[in-house]
Amino acid sequence: MVFIKPGTPPLPVKPCYIISSKRHKTSLTIKPGEKEVFSFSCHDPENHFVVEIQKNIDCMSGPCPFGEVQLQPSTSALPTLNRTFIWEVKAHKSIGLELQFAIPRLRQIGPGESCPDGVTHSISGRIDATAVKIGTFCSNGTVSRIKMQEGVKMALNLPWFHNRNVSGFSIANRSSIKRLCIIESVFEGEGSATLMSANYPDGFPEDELMTWQFVIPAHLRASVSFLHFNVSNCEKKEERVEYYIPGSTTNPEVFRLEDKQPGNMAGNFNLSLQGCDQDAQNPGILRLQFQVLVQHPQNESNKIYLVDLSNEQAMSLTIEPRPIKLSRKFVPGCFVCLDSRTCSTNLTLTSGSKHKISFLCDNLTRLWMNAEKTISCMDHRYCHRRSHSLQVPGDILQLPVQLHDFSWKLLVPKDRLSLALVPAQKLQQHTQEKVCNTSFSYLVASAVPGQELYFGFFCPGGSIEQIQVKQNISVTLRTFAPSFRQEATRQGLTVSFIPFFKEEGIFTVTPDTKNKVYLRSPNWDRGLPSLTSVSWNISVPSNQVAYLTFLKERTGVVCQTGRAFMIIQEQRSKAEEIFSLEDEVLPKPSFHHHSFWVNISNCSPVSGKQLDLFFWVLLTPRTMDLTVIIIVVVGGGALLLFALGLIICFVKKNRKKKKNKGPPVGIYNGNINTQMPMQPKKCQKGRKDSDSHVYDVIDDTMVYGHLLQDSNGSFLQPEVDTYRPFQGPTGDCPPSPPPICSRAPTAKLTTDEPSPGFPAESETEPYTFSHPNNGSTDVPLLDTHEPEEPGE
């Protein structure tokens, strides 16, 4: 029977009619044996009408016409319209029917997809009186046969411009298949096929069984991946997939839909989907879309890697595809296989076990690895001063896949402990001025929920000896090149649990003597978080001078509440400068002869006016100090020689006078002040707080020579004491900033540092012998007559 009827798209503005027996019609039916002459009232009837040819085949009352199915009437006898040929075959439940498709076979498509040439095959089956859609197919695929029972309905859709004159399939008789259908998929070489359950995307029929048979060349390997699936609510049985795999001793192998599916399979295999008895009140739907990928085995597919994570805790390793742009061309799959059989595009291994894995992949650079590990301390009494090594396990490095990230999450009890990171090699902070050129780096960031704070990227080969952080952080080792395996010995951090401190971070830095050390505040370009403080402990060797330079004139911060400060403090003399970062320009380049602190404390800044600090430090030899020392030594020697000459002259004169004089009489006057008047000190310090007790050499003979003569004119030998270093507190803590919320004055508070090698007057307790100069008490110490001037 032939039906000519309007097409499904909306009709154009100008209508078109079928002219038959001089009558205008919108549809026309031609029954078997009838002859009809007709025409169209328009020049483009293909845009208005379609033709549908239906043929019923009854296999219940008589033998079925098996064999190749013909297109009748032929396409040449039909009008040039979009054509649909429909064959409906009815048969007993005990009879199986097989549709055989000639090369180039069929390819199943999903909802919303279309075929490039416009030719589609829609195939349906039957369960009692209910029709079941098996699928829609295009040409050029792998589906070679579809077996069904109870009957089949086949619809071939041809566009009006297609001159096809064969159906492309045949019907054969088979015994009962005892299931809804069997779809055979044949692979001649490498390729892939996407297949769907019956009625997809609607639900699979309740308690039914559907099977796919795959014919694979022996030299190729096949892997199954589930793309999309849903499970229904079962009252009886369990929804599952079953595999019949060549060589398996446990056929059929049963998997849940949630499980990783088999891969790296050699030879033919079957896959079956089994439904269940669904809940009548809330049945849900069972549906499945999956892909079968067939490709050549790779060298790595025959190699087994043992990943031993049995001694690890709270750790996971994920092997997954790199993000890449998809191509329309066939791309061989890249699978990770567990125990050589369960293969998938990604695989996660957990700690506490040993894992055997292999790879089915044409190019392993398409994969990478990401790992996570948590190191936590819940009892501060147990963890205090304990340390852990942050190193990538060797079993991970031996895998033929590049490591992308390895993250350690470090957790401490709040306000109880802090963390210290000490690298195996000193670190360099990554900046635009000095980029990291290693194959890996560390990203240090806060792991406190709700706090967006990252301290920066760091790589080996710098000057940072230690990073101390206040609370929970994550440390991520990120690789940038395959050469990481050769540089893996350079990686390694040690984390220690240390007493709690209130600053967000403290960086201990020993600058390089050859290169500038670039340092910048955390959260660069986003601004230091509100009300936080960060310090840099800059170590300066005794024979070096540090040159400190800030790269910007101002930090750019504008405070909404509170004040933002920077403190630069010399660690030896405690001299410090305080700068208001909101009101003042940053200090000009300065020299520092001793180790010093740089501390910044943030306010609550206005949005978009954040606090960022960027500076560099360079060490230079202490050449000026050497010149001063030479001058002091030469000058001191000359003064010593001059003093000895005066003493010798004085002794000779006294010996001449003593021949006519009695013994000298020393008179003590208790009313005389024996100390020189002193200027009041601005900041009085005790000796343990100053350097007054530290000295190089005091020549007693030069300073006290005139008091060391005995009665015979010879010099007494003074007793020599031993200098002991000061054992008081050393002051390793960073400088305490002013209260952030206070409106402190913006003027700088400075304390001058003494010149190298010389104690400062304001910090020295002087040792003084004073001669009386009052007229009423002018008594000579050694002679009753007026003393002669030295040198007379």
Q: Does residue 790 register a pLDDT over 60?
A: no
CA-to-CA distance for 79 and 46, rounded, in angstroms? 9
- The helix/strand/coil state of 97 is strand
pLDDT tier, 329 (very low <50, low <70, confident <90, very high otherwise): low
pLDDT digits (tens, 9 = 90+) for 534-545: 999 999 998 899
Rounded alpha-carbon distances, angstroms, from residue 302 to 337, 347, 401: 11, 18, 16
Q: What is the predicted pLDDT for the residue at 716? A: 41
Q: Does residue 174 register a pLDDT over 50?
A: yes
Query: Which residues of the chain does CATH 2.60.120.290 include?
Result: 1-173, 187-298, 502-625
Q: What is the predicted pLDDT for the residue at 651? A: 60
Q: What is the predicted pLDDT for the residue at 331? A: 66
Closest Cα to residue 402, out of 487, 489, 481?
481
Question: Greater confidence, 462 or 690?
Answer: 462
Q: What is the mean pLDDT of residues 485-503?
A: 89
pLDDT digits (tens, 9 = 90+) for 383-416: 887 899 999 998 999 999 999 999 999 999 999 9
**Long-range pairs for 580-584: beta carbons < 8 A, 24 or more residues apart:** 580/744, 580/746, 581/554, 581/555, 581/557, 581/611, 582/557, 582/558, 583/746, 584/746, 584/748
Classify residue 241 as exposed, middle or buried by CB count within 10 Å of its CB (0-12, 13-18, 19+). buried
| Least confident interval from 126-140, 402-416, 450-464, 729-743 | 729-743
Classify residue 648 as exposed, middle or buried by CB count within 10 Å of its CB (0-12, 13-18, 19+). exposed
Q: Which of these CATH numbers, 3.40.50.10310, 3.40.50.1980, 1.20.1430.10, 2.60.120.290, describes 1-173?
A: 2.60.120.290
pLDDT digits (tens, 9 = 90+) for 263-276: 888 889 999 999 99
Pull the structure tokens for residue 479: 């690789």
- Maximum CA extent, the chain: 174
| Least confident interval from 311-320, 406-415, 772-781 | 772-781
Could you give the percent of the chain with pLDDT greater than 90?
46
pLDDT tier, 457 (very low <50, low <70, confident <90, very high otherwise): very high
Q: What is the mean pLDDT of residues 57-65?
A: 80
Task: For the chain, give the mean pLDDT.
Answer: 80
Give Rg (Cα) of the chain: 47
Strands 67-68, 106-109: parallel, antiparallel or unpaired by DSSP?
unpaired
Give buried/exposed letters for 443-458 (b at 16+ CB in 10 A, else e).
bbbbbeeeeebbbbbb
Q: Does residue 121 register a pLDDT over 90?
A: yes
CA-to-CA distance for 509 and 492, rounded, in angstroms? 18
Q: What is the predicted pLDDT for the residue at 649? A: 67
pLDDT digits (tens, 9 = 90+) for 654-668: 555 444 444 433 333
| Least confident interval from 174-178, 282-286, 516-520, 768-772 | 768-772
**Three-state secondary structure of 732-791:** CCCCCCCCCCCCCCCCCCCCCCCCCCCCCHHHCCCCCCCCCCCHHHCCCCCCCCCCCCCC
Q: What is the predicted pLDDT for the residue at 261? A: 85
Helices (H), 473-622: 484-487
In the chain, the N- to C-terminal Cα span, in Å, equals 151
pLDDT digits (tens, 9 = 90+) for 422-447: 999 999 999 999 999 899 999 999 99
pLDDT digits (tens, 9 = 90+) for 156-166: 999 988 888 88
pLDDT tier, 635 (very low <50, low <70, confident <90, very high otherwise): low
Q: Does residue 704 register a pLDDT over 50?
A: no
Name the superfamily (CATH) of residues 502-625.
Spermadhesin, CUB domain (2.60.120.290)
pLDDT tier, 682 (very low <50, low <70, confident <90, very high otherwise): very low
Closest Cα to residue 769, out of 703, 683, 699?
703
pTM of the model: 0.59
Q: What is the mean pLDDT of residues 48-58?
A: 90
Q: What is the predicted pLDDT for the residue at 385? A: 76
Strands (DSSP E) found in 187-230: 191-196, 209-215, 221-230
Q: What is the predicted pLDDT for the residue at 239? A: 93
pLDDT tier, 680 (very low <50, low <70, confident <90, very high otherwise): very low
CA-to-CA distance for 565 and 156, rounded, in angstroms? 80
768 neighbors 673 (Cβ within 8 angstroms) = no
pLDDT digits (tens, 9 = 90+) for 566-621: 999 999 888 899 999 988 899 999 999 999 999 999 999 998 889 999 999 999 98
Closest Cα to residue 138, out of 121, 113, 156?
121
Topology classification of domain 187-298? Jelly Rolls (2.60.120)
Give buried/exposed letters for 716-752 (b at 16+ CB in 10 A, else e).
eeeeeeeeeeeeeeeeeebbebbebeeeeeeeeeebe
